[in-house]
Amino acid sequence: QGDEETKIKLPRYVRVNTLQATTADVVEHFQKDGFIHVRHICRDYNEFLTEVGKLKAKEFMTDYTLKDLLVFHPGTSFFGHMLYDRGDIILQDKASCLAASALAPPPGSKVIDSCAAPGNKTSYLAAIMENKGKIHAFDRDAHRFSTMQTMLLKAGVLCAVCKNLDFLTVNWKGRNANDAGCGSSYDDVEFMLVDPSCSGSGRNDVTTSSSKSKLLIGRLKSLSNFQSMLLNHAMRNFPSVQRLVYSTCSIHKEENEDVVLDALQRNKHFRLVRIFPEIISRG
């Protein structure tokens, strides 16, 4: 109501990079470093969230949904930690992990990650695929693309082919009309992730406000147009795709539900499926 604002402190999430370490080994390593693994058996997701809210400094839990994700107290720092430096753990929010987990390509799959840099979801997809199969990881931004190459190398990802290009110039035949058939073609891709640039309003410590400024409304309009363009391109131009995940790190409906519902209206060959039923509170 009104202009009331609430500051929310999000916990720190640490994903175990199962390409290089097991969850059990990482848990043991943290315990040896003086951290306490809180093993509370939660009956449902709400109880889990309550327990996460009670975490003290140096305490952590295993996530309720993803067993390779650890949840720490909000202030915990991992920079300079050996596991982080080695690429055995990746600092990745649960929301980001859920996108790759929802796509769930089995080992051996052919995948397109259309907006991939800096590569957090690509590296999780590679872990889910046990480094077997192929991920075409595109990004149009040269600087972010180079960060992704470094990140994927550090994470031991072997099944990703990174391409510094605009996803909108690619279709199932390859890149552009000119070199279709000469370079890669994507006619066997079954899984697609569309994770476009967004307002980032759901990241880090969020300030929620019930009112939207005129400036924000204008920005959301232009972002959602761009997001719709990418999602529609993905749905129309890759006929072999069987499962597609659209994700953003925004909490605005304009960038999420509105984009998805509009794309479903325009692409009747896709249907929406409900995932993660344990997460009751949505939107």
182 is catalytic: no
Residue 79 CB, nearest approach to ligand SAM (Å)? 18
258 is in an annotated binding site: no
> For residue 94, which phi and psi values (nearest 5 degrees)?
-60, -40
Place of tokens 């951290």: 35
Residue environment code for 201-236, b if the CB has 16+ CB neighbours within 10 A, otherwise e: bbeeeeeeeeeeeeeeeebbeebbebbbebbbbbbe
Q: Which residues bind ligand SAM (CB under 6 A)?
A: 96, 115-121, 138-141, 144, 166-168, 195-197
121 is in an annotated binding site: yes
Give 232's contacts (C-beta < 8 A, 6+ positions apart): 263, 266, 267
179 is in an annotated binding site: no
Say if residues 247 and 275 touch (Cβ distance below 8 Å). no
88 is in an annotated binding site: no
Q: Which is nearer to ligand SAM, 61 or 171 (CB)?
A: 171
Residue 227 CB, nearest approach to ligand SAM (Å)? 9
148: left (phi over 0), alpha (psi -120 to 50) or beta: alpha
Q: Which is nearer to ligand SAM, 21 or 148 (CB)?
A: 148
Residue 226 CB, nearest approach to ligand SAM (Å)? 7
118 is in an annotated binding site: yes
Residue 73 CB, nearest approach to ligand SAM (Å)? 24
C-alpha angle with apex 249: 245 to 250, nearest 5 degrees? 110
Give the separation between CA 187 and CA 278, rounded to whole angstroms: 35
N-to-C CA span, the chain: 18
Q: In what order do the strands lie in the sheet with 36-37?
A: 36-37, 59-62, 69-72, 12-16, 89-91
How many residues are present in the chain? Answer: 283
- Out of 97, 159, 162, 249, which one is annotated catalytic? 249
Q: Which is nearer to ligand SAM, 64 or 167 (CB)?
A: 167
127 is in an annotated binding site: no
Q: How far is CA 18 from CA 26, 89, 95, 191, in A?
A: 10, 9, 18, 21
Residue 112 CB, nearest approach to ligand SAM (Å)? 11
Residue nearest to ligand SAM (CB): 115
Q: Which residues are annotated as a binding site for S-adenosyl-L-methionine?
A: 115-121, 139, 166, 195
Q: Which residues are annotated as a binding site?
A: 115-121, 139, 166, 195
Residues with active-site annotation: 249
